[in-house]
Structure 1
């Protein structure tokens, strides 16, 4: 009886269930998800355990990237691990640390997780467990002039068209905050990436991300200049932009009178909007439109790679991409998770706003990962820092110096494909 009680207590306090068919197999997962995200992922893992009989040992920590590097150095990697970004996936694949996975490239975005391995062959080396849709333009419909609301109801052809609509609603219409406790500057890189992807097309974007297109090239320079026009269109001034957290940048949309009218942010921003006074509600207090300029979508994604090729690990990787597993996460209200599995229809999302975002993703003809997330770490860090420098002094002469410096980093950095 004491042994039974001890086993029951063990099952109650472990991170995953003790159920299943009892095959004796197990698989380890290292991830960055804790709190509510961790609970959502554990629910996915629980479904896998029940259907496969394979036990999952999940370790969730905010230091997952450092822990993974340490375990790889010691020769004791987990079977599978959540990767910080596509750049890490490419680096680990090129070094032979990651094992290729089969049958995961189909779906929205195609071969987003393909990389070049040690032998030179390009194969899928991971899966996107969940995605965030970036490049959305948010606004409070109640504070916009009727004429502006009418123009937003029509398709917007380009960034320049959007800029004209925004400037017609207010002389300085844009919300913007670049501060982040761990990585300031990235909201500005999102702007530049979106402009380049939509204005110059995916081929140019891919060359830039791969390090084969110079930062001083005309398409990249023009993207920076258009970001500069956004900086000039903020009411708060450059000092406030540098010091304002990205999650608080859109808060002035909800004040009376509003302090700004338009916020460029990913699907995850809604959790921050809901924390403002009065608890703004989707549809009534805020809405979005896709980034103008064609059916291209930029995403952020949480990836999972396989570091030990075992039957249990392969089964887990295959399961996590299924509609059943994906729906476990996306159906949770407020999860902010979006699936790249085309078998998960937009109607399965829990509210009208998330359904519309899912439809934007599903109807995209081009899907690309966040550019800086896809670059080597040293290049991405230089990009973030360069954005902060440019905002502090958004002059043509300063931009020339910044782009030349970034190009120097590009030429001395090894890009994994």
Structure 2
């Protein structure tokens, strides 16, 4: 399928009290109302009916996920009469700047990182969210999530989908056969790692790790550091680090590097199935965990989306071929903390049809419709975890919905691009390659901060 998708469809909207829009049913009318449909239009009545209205939704989402996105609003379109013109291209993150500057911005954009969202807001392109969208976010999302769509106390963009990072993948049958227990603290994980290392062979090591990702090589290493900063120093320090108020060379961040280095820089612990520490950079993140299936490693740190990388026929479940546990707490008494990612829906125009679509996409109705189609999860608290397409998806949703869970957005996605998607990545490569010491890497990254 082409990397660019164009879809014109009829969308649905789901949320209460959308700007006083007229209530309507789903049967066809002589005056241009929605055409007859098999859809249950009850959830969409409050969005109103429209004649000849279209809304462009712009996104980096392509291929199968784009098709599922289009399906997620099919009933909404049928019931409201709005046509959603979906444009998906992997170049959307760069092209939105060109389009907005030329006065050709889309009506809505699904933005994959808060840094880009904030830049577009600061440039004056994104409009504040309508009250109906903010009401949905206040009801269905945590303050953490709302904050990522807020600038200078003005709320602009609702969250959409999410991912949970920091999973540690393993083989349940291997653990059972060798009497290993899933660790509940970081210290227990290190004790388990040391025990596993006693069984090392020419090819086996406890951990398998891969930083390779083309131009983005190094990003999997940033996820390790982010997980430890959050767990060891807490959300306040984490947020100060993102803002540049806590430097990479400060003790809190150096401590995280040292703790991660206890694993990643230890030839006795990595890199099962591929070689030693020097193979981390040349091993792609896609292939990095596969030696678990061959018995050449036991543990791999990667996000929930890695589930799609396992070969066809691999059962991912607590008693299957592969399962995962969240990176353990460092302080046993601390609450649950997870890092992750997600998208946000920003508006560049404010017609009633645009606001209706924007409101629907912030609702629990949309979240349940989309997750039921498979392949994604959301942190929307109105989402039924049982609709997730996998056991790991259900577990991820339950973590995101937890009342005591502290969620922190991927730090590298929040940092200025010169750091988050540049020097932080390359710094991790230099670090595991041994071309720079820890102190040299931290000083280097600090020097690139705007």
Could you say which TM-score interval applies, normalised by the shorter chain? 0.7 to 0.9
| Matching of residues 153-164 of structure 1 within 5 Å | 156-157=184-185, 159-164=186-191
* 8 A contact 1:238–1:391 mirrored in 2: yes
Determine helix, strand or coil for the equivalent of 2:64.
helix
Among 336, 361, 373, the residue aligned to 1:295: 336
Q: Per-residue deviation at 1:22?
A: 4.8
Q: How many residues align?
A: 384
Determine helix, strand or coil for the equivalent of 2:58.
strand
**Distance in 2 (alpha carbons) for counterparts of 1:201 and 1:248:** 32
Name the residue aligned to 1:137.
168
Among 280, 283, 296, the residue aligned to 1:259: 296
Q: Which moved more, 1:314-323 or 1:357-366?
A: 357-366
**Distance in 2 (alpha carbons) for counterparts of 1:51 and 1:261:** 50
* Stretches of 4+ aligned residues off by more than 6 angstroms: none
Among 84, 93, 99, the residue aligned to 2:112: 84
Q: CA RMSD in A?
A: 2.2
Question: Per the alignment, do residues 14 and 193 of structure 1 end up closer, same or farther by CA in structure 2, a change over 3 Å counting?
Answer: closer
* 8 A contact 2:50–2:353 mirrored in 1: no
Name the residue aligned to 1:105.
137
Q: Per-residue deviation at 1:388?
A: 0.5
Name the residue aligned to 1:324.
365
Determine helix, strand or coil for the equivalent of 1:246.
coil
The superposition leaves residues 229-250 of structure 1 with CA deviations (integer Å, 9 ceiling, x where unpaired) of 2212213223321011101100
1:369 is aligned to 2:406 = no
* 8 A contact 1:49–1:56 mirrored in 2: yes
Among 310, 316, 321, the residue aligned to 2:351: 310
Question: Per the alignment, do residues 96 and 86 of structure 1 end up closer, same or farther by CA in structure 2, a change over 3 Å counting?
Answer: same
TM-score by length of 1: 0.86
Question: Per the alignment, do residues 345 and 356 of structure 1 end up closer, same or farther by CA in structure 2, a change over 3 Å counting?
Answer: same
Question: Per the alignment, do residues 348 and 174 of structure 1 end up closer, same or farther by CA in structure 2, a change over 3 Å counting?
Answer: same
Q: Per-residue deviation at 1:391?
A: 0.7
1:48 is aligned to 2:76 = yes
**Distance in 1 (alpha carbons) for counterparts of 2:303 and 2:149:** 29
Q: Which moved more, 1:62-71 or 1:185-194?
A: 62-71
**Distance in 2 (alpha carbons) for counterparts of 1:58 and 1:136:** 32
Among 229, 233, 247, the residue aligned to 2:262: 229
TM-score by length of 2: 0.80
* 8 A contact 2:368–2:384 mirrored in 1: no
**Distance in 2 (alpha carbons) for counterparts of 1:35 and 1:48:** 21
**Distance in 1 (alpha carbons) for counterparts of 2:214 and 2:8:** 28
Structure 2, unaligned runs of 5 or more:
1-5, 12-33, 36-48, 199-204, 330-334
